[in-house]
Chains A and B, each alone.
Chain A
Amino acid sequence: QKEVEQDPGPLSVPEGAIVSLNCTYSNSAFQYFMWYRQYSRKGPELLMYTYSSGNKEDGRFTAQVDKSSKYISLFIRDSQPSDSATYLCAMSLSDLEGGTGFQKLVFGTGTRLLVSP
């Protein structure tokens, strides 16, 4: 079983739809949860991050974490064609490893989202 599971899609929606992207994970020690967006032929860029459980909103985007269910979600309201990209969830532990200050990120496989005009 993978540490982080994410449906690869593609997920196709019309412009204006509400989009829900999800990841499940198995390691209850994860404390930091991130969503990266990756456009075609580009590197991932951080979209949102949350610490522990709860919701975080940024414009049309809402990140939600349910640690009891080991489930995280990203909601996109009023989706736009420019939102078409691959969305990767990522998570990390709270403790710094080995005193180096490095935190390993564990990524989902990514969900490809297509928003049609």
Chain B
Amino acid sequence: DVKVTQSSRYLVKRTGEKVFLECVQDMDHENMFWYRQDPGLGLRLIYFSYDVKMKEKGDIPEGYSVSREKKERFSLILESASTNQTSMYLCASSFPPTTNYNEQFFGPGTRLTVL
């Protein structure tokens, strides 16, 4: 079974803190993604990576950065957390598509609260 794990299920941080969210996948997937999920807004893509040390901005990258030093690990960094970054953060991974579609596998999510 594909397994995508995230370092924390629940996290509470204070405004201005630097926050690291870690994601690890065990299926040798090239692609990894970070989304945030908010009521009424659905899943929105923050950043993705298609290879080690490669990253691309998604739809809402402002206030976030990412790091991918190893193929299995993709980190999301909030340089200075703000209350509007309170959200559910979901990591996903996939192989590059050999056809025009490939499934994304999601982790369980990290619910981050910024006070």
**Cα separation A94 to B99 with both chains bound (whole Å):** 9
Q: How many residues of B contact A (CB 8 A)?
A: 30
Chain B binding surface, main DSSP class: loop
Contact A103 B97 (CB under 8 A): yes
Nearest CB of B to A31, in Å: 7
Name B100's contact: one of A8, A31, A43, A46 (CB within 8 Å).
A31
Q: How many residues of A contact B (CB 8 A)?
A: 31
For residue B4, CB closer than 8 A to chain A, the reply is: yes
Contact B100 A103 (CB under 8 A): yes
Q: Mark B49-73, 1 if CB is under 8 A from A, else 0.
A: 0100010101000000000000000
Contact B42 A110 (CB under 8 A): yes
Nearest CB of A to B71, in Å: 14
